[in-house]
Amino acid sequence: MSVVDKTRPGRLTTHVLDTMNGHPASGMRIDLKRLTPEPGETVTFVTNHDGRVDTPLLEGAAFSAGSYELTFHVGSYFAGHEASGAGTFLDLVPVRFVIADEGAHYHVPLLVSPFAYSTYRGS
């Protein structure tokens, strides 16, 4: 059980939707790395049956202002889940973003097919 730092209530979450097959992207690897102000180690997560990670990617003392990169391993996901046999164009999808408010919820969803993706700051 993790302890949440109530003085830093912000958190980072994600959600991945497989738009080719019309369902959450279960079993997709996602890497998170802090880029600035001091680079951090890469932490790896895997999405659950709902296309989400079971816990926030960052929260408490680990959730701090700076630049980050989420790398979604879509090529290996579609290689194992592809129904149409259409092949894969995308391999890794990096999403770089900035956390400025340590008290906010940052949600970075990814809508993805083997050929295109979209992301935004969700809620």
pTM of the model: 0.90
> Per-residue pLDDT tens for 15-46?
999 999 999 999 999 999 999 999 999 999 99
115, two tokens = 């050929």
Residues 46 and 78: their CA atoms lie apart, in Å, by 14
According to the model, what pLDDT value does residue 98 have? 98
According to the model, what pLDDT value does residue 7 have? 62
| CATH of the domain spanning 11-110, picked from 2.60.40.180, 3.30.70.1450, 3.40.309.10, 1.10.10.60 | 2.60.40.180
According to the model, what pLDDT value does residue 123 have? 85
Residues 58 and 120: their CA atoms lie apart, in Å, by 18
Give the model's confidence band at 1: pLDDT under 50 very low, under 70 low, under 90 confident, else very high: very low
Residue 37, preceding peptide bond in cis (omega within 30° of 0): yes
Residues 123 and 121: their CA atoms lie apart, in Å, by 7
> Per-residue pLDDT tens for 38-96?
999 999 999 999 999 999 999 999 999 999 999 999 999 998 875 555 567 899 999 99
